[in-house]
Amino acid sequence: MHCTQSPRPQQALPRHHPVLHADVTVIGAGPAGALLAYLLAAHGLQVVLVEKASLPRVKPCGGGLNWKTVTLLPFAIDAVVERVVSRVLFTQHLRQPFTRTASQPLVTLVTRSIFDHLLVQKAAAAGAHVYDACHITRLEAHPHGIAIQGTGLSWHSRYVAFADGAKGILRRQLGFAASAPHDMGLDMDVEADPACPWTPETLYLDWGTTAQTYAWAFPKADH
Ligand SMILES: Cc1cc2nc3c(=O)[nH]c(=O)nc-3n(C[C@H](O)[C@H](O)[C@H](O)COP(=O)(O)OP(=O)(O)OC[C@H]3O[C@@H](n4cnc5c(N)ncnc54)[C@H](O)[C@@H]3O)c2cc1C
């Protein structure tokens, strides 16, 4: 058994010259931010997409996209789809298994670092300026927008959109606690060896083995 949690080799992002004025600055290059940046740039707006991590970045995730979400995306993601499944095996305390099979595709499986990076690449190809490894150090409101300072860069933006995830600035600004009491997720890529009794067309979900949480095994192309 081999465990890993690292991004695989990815295509480099197109690099644009830094801008001094943006219509919209999107903070956070997860799926929400990257897709917003894509849509705004595709409509002709000057967009900056800022990410504090180096891209591509790893995110603990099962990588299961529900089918409806996939059909709503404005472009095809076939290049990064590893499996499409319509069967789910449920257990409680790893016992009492039962399976449900849908008549149509249920979940599309991707590796998050790869999927998220595809969305960022789409945003960049649509014209968004992507700054990664960039920490926002100052946001200052002016009559006609916001002055933004990040690591090694500063620019002015008419609007700022926060897509900075469950632990970001926006969450704190809205008054939610910095983290929930049981805020932990563990994620591991496990290479399936031939002796492993897995069924690659099935999602596994188990409740109750540890109190107040669940575990999953989502099959990917090779793990
Ligand atoms: C263990 C686990 C398993 C999951 N499995 C699934 C699943 O199978 N299917 C599914 O649909 N969902 C799953 N989720 C949920 C899913 O990960 C989130 O719903 C999704 O990531 C939210 O996307 P987002 O773009 O809002 O935020 P995120 O993906 O969290 O992206 C936010 C980005 O903002 C960046 N950022 C934060 N602060 C700043 C800042 N100040 N400046 C610049 N950048 C910043 C972060 O680095 C991050 O890259 C899972 C979550 C966990 C924890």
Instruction: Please work out whether the CB of residue 27 comes within 6 Å of at least one atom of ligand 1.
Output: yes
Instruction: Please work out whether the CB of residue 165 comes within 6 Å of at least one atom of ligand 1.
Output: yes
pLDDT, tens only, 83-98:
999 999 999 998 999 9
Instruction: Please work out whether the CB of residue 32 comes within 6 Å of at least one atom of ligand 1.
Output: yes
Token pair recorded at residue 161: 């959109």
Contact at 8 Å (CB) between 62 and 216? yes
Residue nearest to atom 53 of ligand 1 (CA): 185
163 assigned to some structural domain: yes
The closest alpha carbon to 119, from 214, 176, 36, 181, belongs to: 36
Beta strand pairing call for 145-150 and 95-101: unpaired
53 assigned to some structural domain: yes
77 assigned to some structural domain: no
Look up the domain containing 174 and give its range: 3-63+111-181
187 assigned to some structural domain: no
Show Cβ contacts of residue 138 under 8 Å, excluding neighbours closer than 6 positions.
Answer: 147, 148, 149
**pLDDT per residue rounded down to tens, the chain (223 residues):** 333 334 454 667 766 677 889 999 999 999 999 999 999 999 999 999 999 999 999 988 999 999 999 999 999 999 999 999 999 999 999 899 999 999 999 999 999 999 999 999 999 999 999 999 998 988 999 999 999 999 889 999 999 999 999 888 888 777 777 666 666 778 888 887 777 777 788 999 999 888 888 899 999 888 8
124 assigned to some structural domain: yes
Instruction: Please work out whether the CB of residue 63 comes within 6 Å of at least one atom of ligand 1.
Output: yes
37 assigned to some structural domain: yes
162 bridge partner residues: 27
Whether the pTM exceeds 0.75: the reply is: yes
Domain containing residue 146: CATH number: 3.50.50.60
pLDDT for 46 equals 97
pLDDT for 166 equals 85
150 assigned to some structural domain: yes
Contact at 8 Å (CB) between 134 and 153? yes
Q: Count the domains in the chain.
A: 1
CA–centroid distance, 88 to ligand 1, in Å, is 24
Instruction: Please work out whether the CB of residue 171 comes within 6 Å of at least one atom of ligand 1.
Output: no
103 assigned to some structural domain: no
* Half-sphere exposure for 37 (CA within 13 Å, toward CB): 36
